[in-house]
Amino acid sequence: MKILITGGKGQLAQQIYGIIKKGSSDLGIMDEAYKNAELWMPDADEMDITNLEEVKQKLTEFNPEIIINCAAMTNVDGCESNEELAFTVNALGARNLAIVCENIGARLIHISTDYVFKGEGQIPYKEYDMTAPASVYGKSKLLGENYVREFCRKYFIVRTSWLYGHGGSNFVKTIIKAAREKGELQVVNDQRGNPTYAEDLAHHILKLALTEEYGIYHCTGNGECSWYDFARAIVEYANINCRVEPITSEKLNRAAKRPSFSSLDNMMLRCTIGDEMREWTEALRSFINS
């Protein structure tokens, strides 16, 4: 089996790679089909997903059976100031992969986000709920979803949120570093969502990829909290003596509007392969302990 993972240097791609090489995740043993898988994990310098001809050439040469698209422009505020680049990477990049997947008969797993929703609800969003992104980042990711659905038949769109893992930078690492250096932090308490450990997400992606259960999925840590709650738990589990105070989003004065409530419901996981995503507190403890 040949598997291509875009965004190869990112935290999710690296987590998927580790699980395939080890043959298991924290949640269990992976299918034997992955045992001798040939992996190619190009980053932007090896394959420019925004260039359709380059994508055609390189994917046709490698001829993967599974493509996992982890590549994205995820700087939410940066997307606001560079709209065209955001849409080129997040929308056209996804379109190009979908077109070539259809041509070579590959399955495409496309990673998306909770930002495709307006983020003003009170009940966790299900896969069928109306999308209405409020930021350039969310709009570019939604267009990418639409292109995947339009140009590729064998697709899995996997929406996730508040992702952290061992590779790259993320909220958990940032809070641990800041807590140790400063001893006092202020974190917003008016945005709620689902912290998601990349280990758990990668496990479910690899389970889905071997099925024909195509469609849209939500895959986040179970349970919800605010960024303030998340930060307090990080400091507590890492055993750092640090005071964490709540503040409102207005005080941060960011370029992009953040959803105040973007909790996702993993309904379609439960209906198909099963939802083994851990409670966010349990997964966070596991990450910090490791």
Q: What is d(CA 254, CA 139) in angstroms, rounded to the nearest whole number?
A: 17
Cβ–Cβ under 8 Å, residues 235 and 145: no
Q: What is d(CA 264, CA 139) in angstroms, rounded to the nearest whole number?
A: 18
Q: What is d(CA 110, CA 68) in angstroms, rounded to the nearest whole number?
A: 6
Question: 137 catalytic, yes or no?
Answer: yes
Cβ–Cβ under 8 Å, residues 68 and 16: yes
Q: What is d(CA 173, CA 90) in angstroms, rounded to the nearest whole number?
A: 25
Structure-block tokens of residue 80: 């606001």
Closest CA to 111 of 81, 75, 148: 148
Element housing 34 (H / E): none
Q: What is d(CA 50, CA 57) in angstroms, rounded to the nearest whole number?
A: 13
E-assigned strand segments in 131-272: 155-160, 163-164, 184-188, 192-193, 196-197, 215-218, 225-226, 243-247
Q: What is d(CA 199, CA 11) in angstroms, rounded to the nearest whole number?
A: 10
Residue of 115, 137, 147, 164 marked active site = 137
Strand partners, 226: 192
Question: What are the residue numbers of the active site?
Answer: 137
